[in-house]
Amino acid sequence: MISQWQLRAAFAARLSDMYGREVPAYTTLVDVSREVNEDVLRARGADAERLGSIGRVTAERHGAIRVGTPQELRQVARVFGALGMHPVGFYDLREAAASAVPVISTAFRPVDGEELARNPFRVFTSMLTPADPRFFDADLRSRLEAFLAGRELFPPELLVLADRAEAEQELPDADAERFLELAVAAFELSTEPIDKAWYETLEQVSAVAADIGGVRSTHINHLTPRVLDIDELYRRMTERGIEMIDTIQGPPSWKGPDVLLRQTSFRALAEPRALRTPDGSVINGALRVRFGEVEARGIALTRTGRALYDRLLGLIDQQAAGHPGTDRGELARTVWEQHMPGSEHELAAQGLAYFTYRAAPDRPRDGSRPPTRVADLVEQGWARAEPIVYEDFLPRSAAGIFQSNLSGEGSRNNDLAGTAYDSAWLSGAMGRDVLDPFALYEQQQNRSVAQVARDLGLDGALD
Ligand code: OOG
Ligand code: NI
């Protein structure tokens, strides 16, 4: 029998092999990430593993895929459900991006600490919004919806196996093998000729819309390794002559704790694709949609911490607008140094980040009574705080990654009101609850605090 986490690990590994064959620069990215991680581990020792063991970090990947309809999203949720991955978080990239990115997204991932430690594979999953009149007029919307309704992304056999794996939390070996084959194949780049005129019609609105609704299948858009020093990785990739996007998205590089997520990517590469012209002939074309992204993960922030992060991004925007020509990274670092706490200890004290707490093995054993405030327990050596790693995504960074890889701006009519979507809508459309990432981190923190209370023989609640 193959358990869900084994299916998840095998799926991630096979997808990685396939993507490496399809996009060789991805393999370079993985190699350079591994080198950087080994160097960081050598230089920093145990400290390098504070946000995840080197085993986890080396195997860690996130993928990105894009689907067209709620029905396709429901189906892909069944495939990921088989792998023990649940939808977490709602991202509205239509609002986060200045150019035309007509999608809403969630991320499928394991939610349980043990499952994350076994294999943290996650997939950023976006769904097209043909109903949003800012991007699609009534005629284009109906043609697009008809096109999407006529395609099948996931064969019924795959979905039947997926449902079994989800219900039974495992599959017999032969079924597991078949499931993996079909699941990986569903995300392979198709060789079927693309209707050139239709693709270009959508491309005028948005390159993302064309990538999703201009073809009869889906494909993995990128697969992202995790690196322990993203600035160093950026330098090494550039040295190797690989053209990176202009910036590293997310928090700046600075001397304080890493929070949330920093991401960058190499530019989308032209890939040969067969195109069918209006006269019916098939020609060799090239499309630039797939890229290679890399990320460094930091500490998960609480709602208050996240509000601070968002406020600081706004401040950096303001300053950048006021000082054109100044390096944004420099501005960001200065803002960070002024406003972001410079240590994990302060992040915890101000309730800005999440930690797991553990009774300290070398706690006082002189019969004295421990204090009842978590902060005092840590301060006085009764408990230790370990940061909880951020497992999710950032809408602005995601929009930045999308946009920096688009060929054109596309078009959007901001005079019209957009169609409203939110997490509840997405849950309904998918028939599965979209989980709140903050609630998940908080639960993990609270459970660890309750365990500390038990271990220290404190029966009352800690504060
Ligand atoms: C998704 C872009 C966002 C991330 O890591 O933030 C993303 C896409 O290009 O489909 O992958
Ligand atoms: Ni990504």
| 437 domain-assigned | no
pTM: 0.96
Residues 145 and 8 in one domain: yes
Q: Can you tell me which atom of ligand 1 is nearest the CA of 393?
A: 6
Same domain (yes/no): 8, 32: yes
List residues near ligand 1 (CB under 6 A).
Answer: 64, 66, 124, 126, 221, 263, 293, 393, 397-398, 401-402
In a mutational test of the pocket of ligand 1, which residue from 65, 293, 295 has the highest number of ligand atoms less than 8 Å from its CB? 293
- Based on the fold, state whether residues 146 and 253 are members of the same structural domain: yes
Query: Which structural domain range is residue 322 located in?
Result: 304-385+448-455
**Residue 460: inside a domain:** no
The number of the ligand 1 atom at minimal distance from the alpha carbon of 394 is 6
| pLDDT of amino acid 298 | 98
Assess whether 284 and 358 both reside in one domain. no
**Do 338 and 259 share a structural domain?**
no
Tell me what pLDDT residue 319 has.
92
Q: What is the pLDDT of residue 190?
A: 95
Question: In angstroms, what is the span from residue 64 Cα to ligand 1's centroid?
Answer: 6
- Both 119 and 155 in one domain: the answer is yes
Has residue 462 been placed in a domain?
A: no
Mutate to test the pocket of ligand 1, among 402, 403, 404, 407 (most ligand atoms within 8 A of CB): 402
**Any domain includes 125:** yes
Sign of CA dihedral 436, 63, 191, 210: positive
pLDDT of residue 98: 83
Q: Are residues 226 and 339 in the same domain?
A: no
Question: Pick from 233, 442, 249: which is nearest to 332 by CA?
Answer: 249
Q: Are residues 232 and 282 in the same domain?
A: yes
Domain co-membership, 375 together with 412: no
Residue in 91, 124, 406 to alter for ligand 1 test, most ligand atoms within 8 A of Cβ: 124
Q: Which residues contact 23 (CB under 8 A, 6 or more apart)?
A: 269, 271, 290, 292
CB 453 within 8 A of CB 459: yes
For residues 357 and 232, state if they share a domain: no
Q: What is the pLDDT along the chain (463 residues), one digit of tens a residue?
A: 999 999 999 999 999 999 999 998 999 999 999 999 999 999 999 999 999 999 999 989 999 999 999 999 999 999 999 999 999 999 999 998 888 999 999 999 999 999 999 999 999 999 999 999 999 999 999 999 999 999 999 999 999 999 999 999 999 999 999 999 999 999 999 999 999 999 999 999 999 999 999 999 999 999 999 999 999 999 999 999 888 988 899 999 999 999 999 999 988 889 999 999 999 999 999 998 888 899 999 999 999 999 999 999 999 999 999 988 888 899 999 999 999 999 999 999 999 999 999 999 999 888 888 998 999 999 999 999 999 999 999 999 999 888 887 777 888 999 999 999 999 999 999 999 999 999 999 999 999 999 999 999 887 767 7
What's the pLDDT score for residue 246?
87
CA of 28 to the centre of ligand 1 (A): 20
Per the domain annotation, does 463 fall within a domain? no
Q: What spacing in Å lies between the alpha carbon of 53 and ligand 2's midpoint? A: 21
pLDDT of 406 reads 77
| 252 three-state secondary structure | coil
User: Coil, strand, or helix at residue 85?
Assistant: coil
Q: How far is the CA of 164 from the centre of ligand 1 (A)?
A: 29
Three-state SS annotation for 126-184: EEECCCCCCCCCHHHHHHHHHHHHCCCCCCHHHHHHHHHHHHHCEECHHHHHHHHHHHH
Residue owning the nearest CA to atom 5 of ligand 1: 398
How many domains does the chain divide into?
2
Please tell me whether residues 219 and 232 are part of one structural domain: yes
CA-proximal residue: ligand 1, atom 7 (nearest): 398
CA of 402 to the centre of ligand 2 (A): 9
Say which ligand is closest to the CA of 268. Answer: 1
Task: Tell me, in angstroms, the distance from the centre of ligand 2 to residue 174's CA.
Answer: 32
Name the closest-CA residue to atom 11, ligand 1. 64
CATH number for 144: 3.10.180.80
Is residue 43, in this structure, part of any structural domain at all? yes
Q: Is residue 139 part of a domain?
A: yes
Nearest 5 degrees, angle CA 380-CA 382-CA 386? 100
Q: Residues 272, 124: one domain?
A: yes
The residue whose CA is least distant from atom 4 of ligand 1 is: 398
Residue 155 lies in a domain: yes
pLDDT of residue 325: 86
